[in-house]
Amino acid sequence: MQRPDNIKLPNLSLLDKLVATATLLVAAALFMGSWAEVLRVVYGPDSSVGLLGERLAALYQSDRWAFEALFGVHAITLVALVVATYRLFRLTSFNRRFRKIFYLGSGLLAVLDLSAWFFAPRCGTSNEYVGALGIAAAVPLVFLALVPLFEMWVYKRWRSLDGKPKRVVIVGGGFAGLYAALGLNRKLGYSHDLEITLIDRRNYFLFPPLLPSAAAGTIETRQVSYPFRRIFETTNVAFRKMSVTAVDPTARIVRGVVEISEDPVTHELIGKEAEYPYDYLVFAPGSANQTFGTKGAEQYAFFMRELNDAVRLRNQVISCFERAAVITEREAQRELLTFVVVGAGPTGIETATEIFDLIEHVLQRRYPEVDRSLAEVCVVQSGKQVLPGWDEGIVKMTEAQLKRMGLKVLLGGRVTEVGPNFVSIGEQRISTRTVVWAAGVKPSGLALRSGLPLDSAGRVQVEQDCRAKGFPEVFVLGDVACFVDPRTGKELPPLGQVAFQQGAHTGRNLARLLSGRSTKPFRYFNFGGLVSVGEHFAAVNLLGVRISGVLGWFIWRTLYLSKLVGLSNKIRVVLDWTLDLLVERSISQIRDQDYVKDGQ
């Protein structure tokens, strides 16, 4: 397998390191020495930074040849310093954005430094400020030149205990898999003796908590995803886009199909089978929609798990208003404008309230032909409360806000059937064209083809350090793991905060195993819960502190923003949220299917 080439600098040979270090140090010494020579020759020890411009001017007037010679040495060493640093920075683990900022900054500093030498003798009484500007530019320039030296020498490369390269394969690029990969890379990833490969069927990391916002158009769909190759560009992690079909823990092999292209006529995937042997496996394929065998749910319901799900739901809501605007039958309009969300967990609540806000603040204004009283959003929950299992205070805050908003909440009723234009809840039948299923998840079906020990629910049984029972080289994380918390005796729920805590802990445990040390047990820390309940309102339980309203909404956005991957995505999401406060969001439909051939 071709290895990523992003860790050159820490792995240079000793000779290359010594040559690069000598070049940088000599250039930096001569560069700063030329400034020191101005102080020593002209005024001796009684000099100050503020009068450096005057020193340059005095030297220029008294001995122009000496000044020009000193200026030449200074300019040459400055160029040597910048070029040497540039060549080394290309080999560092800093990402492209940081390197671009460095290149721009170092160029600007070099121009300022040379300008101080050039203009100081010609600036009259103001030359003292020019000299100070020169020193202000010179000091950070030398500091930046020392940054590659730190990365070159401080990192201690990991060595395999038996002299053989080790291969770590991570199946699944969700919270658990991503944090495990980044955590292991942070500890040991600068070594060429270690191969880290993350495999996922998507080529991007998806941030599911913001899918409801993307479905309602609060943020753009691309903001909830980030390409794996961008995430891993400065790491020793290789990404492979592949649909894993099976895991053989006895032979220590991951098998799958590499997707290459799609046939333009049959739309069948053209790919090839591939195998990835491993020494250690992180198994975190995630979960799938749980419909509990409900008739028609898979065929007619909308879901909220993939990026395309958000696009489809948004198109559906807008399409229902478009159709309702051109028909006159009142009951047919009511059917189109009734939106039912099954499941009152955080995903269900946030999806229902986002749909409600889209209707209330945007669509009803743009479709005056539609009677406002016909639009209704309904949440269905089989239990006796919304947010089952959550803190009682948060539940009460959420229920009160749902009532203020006017959403219809049906508790204690189980959905028995979903049809093309109805949903049955026990004996009750609601006419609707839009049913969103958010009633739970089940472990990924890949667990059944993993050869690992499963419980009755299809989740892999694990030890306290997250390793599969009977397979000490396999870590199982996230929604597919049956982890029993020793403090409560209960299984950990399939939540994002469980996944990323397990991922980070597993990264550290892998580093310990690869260094010949024993693993540490995983301890889950419950930070609390948070759920958005409509515009400018969220209910938050953070470390036992309950907050609701605008403050809770601000905390909700801040915490989600902190977990979002990619600086560019964070900036874009902040801009989208800000624009949503000032301007009306778009109601243009984004087609998720092929255009019909007649041009419509």
Closest CA to 401 of 423, 379, 384, 373: 379
* E-state strands within 426-468: 428-431, 434-437, 441-443, 460-461
- 160 with 486: CB under 8 angstroms? no
Could you tell me whether strands 538-542 and 528-532 are parallel, antiparallel, or unpaired per DSSP bridges? antiparallel
pLDDT digits (tens, 9 = 90+) for 519-576: 999 999 988 888 999 888 988 888 888 888 899 889 988 888 888 888 788 888 888 8
The region, left, alpha or beta by phi > 0 then psi within -120 to 50, assigned to residue 191 is: beta
Q: Please report which confidence band the pLDDT of residue 600 belongs to, taking 50, 70 and 90 as the band edges.
A: very low
Three-state SS at 463? coil
| The pLDDT of residue 84 is above 90 | no
Is-contact 301 436, C-beta < 8 A?
Answer: yes
Q: Give me 281's structure tokens.
A: 């496996």
Alpha-carbon dihedral 349, 355, 361, 367, rounded to 10 degrees = -160
Q: Are 507 and 179 in contact (CB under 8 A)?
A: yes
Percent of the chain with pLDDT strictly greater than 70: 85
Q: Is residue 300 a contact partner of residue 420, using CB atoms and an 8 Å limit?
A: yes
| Mean pLDDT within 370-387 | 91
Please name the residues in contact with 380: beta carbons below 8 A apart, sequence gap of 6 or more. Answer: 340, 341, 342, 343, 344, 410, 413, 415, 423, 425
CB 117, CB 73: distance < 8 Å: no
Q: Enumerate the β-bridge partners of residue 253.
A: 248, 277
Q: Do 448 and 416 touch, CB atoms closer than 8 A?
A: no
188 close to 528: Cβ distance less than 8 angstroms: no
Region 217-222: what's the mean pLDDT?
85
Model confidence over 262-272: pLDDT tens digits?
666 666 766 78
Q: Output 527 or 102, whichever has higher pLDDT.
A: 527
Say whether pLDDT at 54 is over 70: no
Distance separating alpha carbons of residues 528 and 541, to the nearest angstrom: 5
- 49 pLDDT above the threshold of 80: no
Widest Cα–Cα separation across the chain: 103
Q: Report d(CA 73, CA 113) in Å as an integer.
A: 13
3-state secondary structure of 185: helix
